[in-house]
Every structure is written in structure tokens, then in C-alpha cells.
Amino acid sequence: MQQATQLKETQVQTNQNTIVEGVSFWQDAWKRLKKNKAAMISAYCVLFLVIVCFFGPFILNKFFGYDFSTQDLAYGAKPPTLKHPFGTDYFGRDLLTRTLVGGSISLMVGLIAATVAAIVGTIFGSVSGFFGGRVDNLMMRFVDVLYAVPYLFLVIILVTVIERVNVGSIFDPFNTVSEVLMGLKIFEGRLILLFIALGLVGWLTTARIVRGQVLSIKEQEFVQAARSIGVSNTAIIFRHLIPNALGTIIVYFTLTVPSMIMQEAFLSFIGLGIQPPNPSLGSLISDGAKQMQLYWWTLVFPAIFLAILLYCLNFVGDGLRDALDPKERKE
Amino acid sequence: MLFFIAKRLVGVVITLFVIITLSFLIIRITPGSPFSQERDVPVEVLEALKAKYGFDKPLHKQYFQYIGNVVKGDLGLSIKYSNRTVNEIIKISLPKTMQIGFLALIWAILVGFVGGAIAAVKQNTKWDYGLMSIAMCGISIPPLVSGPLLILVFALALPWFPTSGWGSWKHVVLPSISLGSVYAAYIARLTRGGMLEVIRSNYIRTARAKGLSEKAVVVKHALKGGILPVVTFLGPAVASIMVGSVVVEKIFNTPGMGPYFVDAAFNRDYFLLMGVVIVYAVFLLLLNLLVDIAYGFIDPRIRFE
């Protein structure tokens, strides 16, 4: 950041009558982001979707008594009506409620898995880049090998292994919150581990990118200065290298979120993710695809919802890349 | 050049060996067994089964035996589909996966390249914005979403194509559209980015200055800039198309390699799972090598090291 700030300061056109304040890298990026209309609109859409997904089920439950799991077999599957704008599924459950709960689970998966991926990738990449030489070579070969193993294989194996791990009560506070809002403990057993498994497989690209960044940052004067006054390696990595690569890390984090949501959807589709009656967008689409000949709406609404969610998230990620990574910026 | 290829081939073999070893260890060390599904199997039967597949020997012996067999090209016996060798299963299912995959890739390259080139030439016009929005849609609609929707529209509502199965050319159309759309979108964005980078460079200005027509400038000079990033993307893309085909094959009930992969991982069908992982890895590694070789031909500035 330091060096980016300096650059910016020299570039700011000085006007004799006004006092020009230095524009920090983040202020500059924020200005660029605000100018990008598509990204800003998508950011508001994402915000809207997040609020609707997390609070919608609560409101629907309060005012209409809808619930994502209570079955009403006598009512059965009905096409969209005013009462149920998305229709109901085979078990007579309101599909709007289920889609929103599914959306919130998918969002949680995306956020947690992407966070895990960002942390692992950042640490791996910066250590590899910082030490360089043989360590770097070995660590990057490891990444290459993992790249060549289909991630699906790793995820399936990881999921079946960590199913046996007990996380205990660390996530209890979060569970209380999610139970009040959605009537569902999001952070229970298998689900939270699935998030982590996805993250543990998805860090490879972040590691490569961060390594590249670190390789160029570590040659700069301020790092040499830090080293000359005896700052430890760990401190250099965490205080100097990672903060300076933060822009790139954030960009890849936002781009990982939609891809993690997609992968969770896929895992739920093949029956490895969410267990019924809990919905995720993937399991809803999977159920809908099985019944689409009879009940088209059970497929169409969750599928379009997922597509819109991914579309907005991707646009935000793109906008952030343009704002935070001026080198990558398109004209 | 030949030395470069030979050196890289050695690297491929070493990486493959590491992958096989790693996968073997991961599959064997993690809990779960291929036989745990069958209930109430007498102990003697279980022992006999284990002996049949060599699981009664110590792990390192099994490993060396397996490596020996793989070198000879024998991937072992499937456990779930008993009496069928892994080679047989792959021989029958791989061509189907490849048909869908290559068709998807071909249309993705054609559509993506043309779309990206148009967007780059008409930068910041309606064409550019329109095409890039379509590309963003393509990226945001995974096969998981597009597959069932395509069936709903083009197989159920309009009975143009069969919903699932295998046999005629019609069975391949919807799966490859569904699989290729994401890649078409990526290729369009990469082409546009690559072309925009060169379109402002001096040699393009020179070409214009010496009076070359706009068409010739684009076709002869600017397009080259768009090819390089796409070629880089193709290596990993082909591999991920192979994995992506798992979803598509599940949705369209195609008897390709995908369903076997998922089944084998669920059932711990050790040899079948290993076989599929090896096939995927070989594809990825060889294609990356091919991409590196192609690089040198497209862009002479990149020398073979």
C-alpha cells in the first residue's frame, strides 16, 4: 500500500489554490468502484439478496406460518399462486421459503469456504514466494500435483473422512442465531465440515496468485529496510507482504465465493452435500430436475434464483478486480 | 525443441507417478471399505473377496503390485462391477465423455472467439456491452442450471431432442450446449482482453498507417493477440470440462465416465476410482504440455526452455 500511495500522490494533479490531500490506495479503489455502475448495481442486488435470504424465511414464518420443512402432503405440489408465489413442492412446502433458506445456506457455504480458501491460499502462497528457491519450487510442484488431481475426487474423499469429526460446541452461538432466523442450525455437524472441505480444496489459484504478488513485493526497498533492522520473517510476511497483496487477495476471494456456491450446488446435486429436509439451491435444483415433467416450477425458480445470485456475485468480483487491480484494468 | 518436449515428458511421468502414489495413499488410508456396503456377509466370503483383489497382503506390497500393473497398462478389476476390468469400463465410457467434451469445446471456441473479437473491435459500443453481458450470463449459469432448463424447453416443451440417453447425434446436442456455455463465455472474455491489449500497440498503428484496410488489420494482426490467452486457458479448460461432464452426464443420463467416477468414489471401488483419476490426470498433463508446445509456434518470442 505504501508504495501505491506514494505513486498516487505524485500523480495527483496539483492545483495551486487548493490543498491536495494524498489519496490512499483504498480511497482510490473505492472511487473507481463507485464509477463502475454495473458493479455497484450488482453490489446492491447482492446486498438485497443477502437480506432477503436471511430475514425472508423469518418474516414468511411470522406472517404466513410457512416453514421450510413442515410437510402438507394433502396440499401437495401446486403451481405458483398469489399465496405461494414460487408454488409448493411435492410435500406441500412453500417453495419460496425453501428457496430463500437454500439461498442463505448457499451464501454461507460460499463465504465460509471462500474464507478458508483465502486463508490457506494466502499463507501457502506467501510462504512459498517469500522463501523462494528450493522451498518455493517444492511447494509449487505440490500445487501443480493437486491441480492435476480432479477436485471432485478430493472433496468426496474429504467429506467422507471428516464426517466422523466432531466439532463440539464452537459454533453454538451461530446456530442459535440461524435457528431463530431460519429454524435451522446451519453450523451443525456435516454442513460446517462440508464448507471447510470445499475451502481446503479450493485454495490453489489463490496460492499461485499470492505467490506471484509476494515475489514482486519482497524485492522492494521497504521490505529490505524492514529486514535490515532485524524484523523477523513471520513479521515481514504478515505485516508487510500480505497487507500489500491484500487487494489481490480480496479480488480472488470475491471470485471464489460464486465458484464455491456452484460447487456446493453440484455436491448437493449428487447427494453429497445437504441432507433432506434441509434445502440448498443445489439440492432444490436436483429435486426439481427429477420432477420437472410434472412440476416445472420446482426446477425453474431455484435454478433462476441461483443464476441471478451467481450473476450478481460475479459482477461484483469483476468490478472489484477492476478497482483494486489497476494493472488488470480494462480500458 | 525435441529436447524441450523430452524434458517435459519426463516431468509428466514424474508428476503422474506422484499423483498415483498420493491418490493410492489417500484412498487406502481414509476410512471406508469397498465391502462395507454389503450387510451380513459371512467372514469367509469377505476373506475370499479380499484375497481375490489382493487386499489381504500388506499395503506396500499392494502398492508395488499396483504400480507394476499400471506400467503394464493394466488398471485392475472393478469391485462393484465384478468381472469387469477397469480398462474395459474406461474403454467403453471414455469415448462418450470425449464426444460430448470435444463438441462442447469446439462450439465454445468458435462462438467465444468470434464474440470476443467482435466485442474488442467494437469496444465500448452497444455490441461490446451486449456481448459481455451475455458472456457474464454464460459464466453465471453452470451446467447444473442450464442442463435441466434445456431439457425442460427443448425436450419436454418442444420435443426436438431426447431428454436423456445415448445413441443418435441428437443425444449429444443438449449436453454439449450445456457443458460448453461456461467455456464459451470465458473464451469470449479472454479473446477480448487479449485483443484490446495489442490493438493499441505500435505495430497495429504501423499497419494502419501504411494504409491497410481495417478488416486486414483485425484479421492479420489483432486476432493473434486474442489467441494467446485462449490457448493458455485451453489446457486447464479441457481437464475441467472432463470433470464438468460428470454433472452433465448425470443430468442427461449419458453412459460416460462421469457416473462411474461418482459411484466409484462413493463405493470405494478402489481400482476403478484410481483408474478414473489416472485418466483425468493424463489428460490434463498432456494437454498442458501441448499448450506449451503450441505457445512456441504462435508466439516466437516465447522460447522453449
Q: Is the pLDDT of residue B62 over 60?
A: yes
**Torsion on CA atoms A306, A310, A311, A316, rounded to nearest 10:** 150
Q: What is the C-alpha radius of gyration for chain B, rounded to an integer number of angstroms?
A: 24
pTM of the entire structure? 0.81
Domain ranges of chain B: 94-256
Residues in A touching B145 (Cβ below 8 Å): 285, 303-304, 306-307
For range B128-138, the mean pLDDT: 87
Distance (Å) from the alpha carbon of B143 to chain A's nearest alpha carbon: 9
Count of H helices and E strands in chain A?
Answer: 15, 0
Q: Which of B32, B142, B277 sits opposite A149 (nearest CB)?
A: B277
Q: Which residues contact B11 (CB under 8 A, 6 or more apart)?
A: none
For range B43-62, the mean pLDDT: 76
| Dist CA A104 CA B288 (whole Å) | 38
Q: Is the pLDDT of residue B230 over 80?
A: yes
Q: Determine contact, residues A81/A87, Cβ cutoff 8 Å.
A: yes
Residue B149, classed as helix, strand or coil, is helix
| Dist CA B261 CA A283 (whole Å) | 20
| Dist CA B39 CA B46 (whole Å) | 11
| Dist CA A330 CA A327 (whole Å) | 8
Distance (Å) from the alpha carbon of B304 to chain A's nearest alpha carbon: 19
For the beta carbon of residue A274, count every other beta carbon within 10 angstroms.
25
Establish, for the pair of chains A and B, how many residue pairs have beta carbons separated by less than 8 Å.
116
3-state percent breakdown (helix, strand, coil) of chain B, nearest 5: 75, 0, 25
| Dist CA A28 CA A47 (whole Å) | 23
Q: pLDDT per residue over A18-45, tens digit each?
A: 666 777 778 888 888 888 787 888 888 8
Q: Which of B140, B142, B277 sits opposite A153 (nearest CB)?
A: B277
* Contact with chain A for residue B251, Cβ under 8 A: yes
- Work out the pLDDT band at A1, boundaries 50, 70, 90: very low
Specify the DSSP element, H or E, that contains B221.
none
Q: Which residues contact B295 (CB under 8 A, 6 or more apart)?
A: B228, B231, B232, B302
> Which of B21, B121, B149, B292 to mutate: most A Cβ within 10 Å?
B149
Residues in A touching B265 (Cβ below 8 Å): 152-153, 156-157
For the beta carbon of residue A37, count every other beta carbon within 10 angstroms.
9
In this structure, of A161-165, B178-182, B216-220, the range with the lowest mean pLDDT score is A161-165
Instruction: Tally the residues of chain B.
Output: 305
A321, three cell numbers: 478486480
Interchain proximity B27–A157, CB inside 8 Å: yes
A306, three cell numbers: 441461483
Q: Is the pLDDT of residue A331 over 50?
A: no
The hierarchical CATH code for the domain B94-256 is: 1.10.3720.10
Q: pLDDT per residue over B72-118, tens digit each?
A: 877 777 777 777 888 888 888 888 888 888 888 899 999 998 998 88
pLDDT, residue A330, reads 41
Q: Determine contact, residues A193/A165, Cβ cutoff 8 Å.
A: yes
Highest mean pLDDT: which of A111-125, A184-198, A314-328, B117-131? A111-125
**Torsion on CA atoms A270, A276, A278, A281, rounded to nearest 10:** 30
* Contact with chain A for residue B259, Cβ under 8 A: no
Interchain proximity B236–A147, CB inside 8 Å: yes
